[in-house]
Amino acid sequence: MELTSVGRVVATGEPFEVPCVQVFRIRDGRIVLFRDYVGAGALPAPDPA
């Protein structure tokens, strides 16, 4: 599943959107694996303060 996580940096109030991919493996109707991959390069740089 592809999605976009939306948030706001607490320290600066700057909004951001980060692309994500979630992978599910389902066996016999149950989720047996879940992985969440985040496009970390799209995250705002940390505040050096």
- One digit per residue, the tens of pLDDT, for the chain of length 49 reads 999 999 998 888 889 999 999 999 999 999 999 999 998 777 777 776 6
- Provide the 10 A C-beta neighbour count for residue 17: 11
Residue 49 DSSP symbol: -
User: Could you report how far apart the first and last alpha carbons of the chain are, in Å?
Assistant: 36
Look up tokens 């592809």; give the residue: 2
Give the global pTM.
Answer: 0.64
Contact 44, 11 (CB under 8 A): no
